[in-house]
Amino acid sequence: MIEITGNIFDLNSWSHKPTTPEIALCIATNEVIKKANAQAVMGAGIAKAFALVYPQLPTILGRKLARSGNRVHYLLTVGNLHILSFPTKHHWRDSSDLSLIVNSAKTLAEIARVRSSCTFVVTRPGCGLGYLPWSVVRNSIAPILPDRCWVIELYPLY
């Protein structure tokens, strides 16, 4: 695992540049699906920022959650950019679940081993609106994630 800084939507702002031809951005998510429209709840934090940039994500994630549950999902590919979910919570209103983050990190590490042409970037999982301290999360996921999995400390998005 490598730690970087920058705006997740602006590769030029990243403190470290990927050498792989593909990049996967991973979004901290929860497993709540709105009953009214079957969309995943992506109403705050980094999930909201991604939903504003890619408005189809709540619908795509809602379908995947309904079908396969709260796990890492491929959501969207745009050119050489992939977007994945990275579950950190069960319900949007709860704090993040460290065991869920560890399971998500294990899945991401497996995907990274298979997709050697890709660098995977996730924000500090569970540390924003999930209220977990980065030191605790880092100690839990650093031994799991390979060097092609980067954790980005965000600059302001707006």
Spans of all domains in the chain: 2-29+71-154
Give dist(CA 47, CA 103) in Å, integer: 19
CATH code of the domain occupying 2-29+71-154: 3.40.220.10
**Single pTM value for the model:** 0.94
pLDDT for res 156: 58
pLDDT digits (tens, 9 = 90+) for 87-144: 999 999 999 999 999 999 999 999 999 999 999 999 999 999 999 999 999 999 999 9
Q: Is 103 exposed, middle or buried (0-12, 13-18, 19+ CB in 10 A)?
A: middle
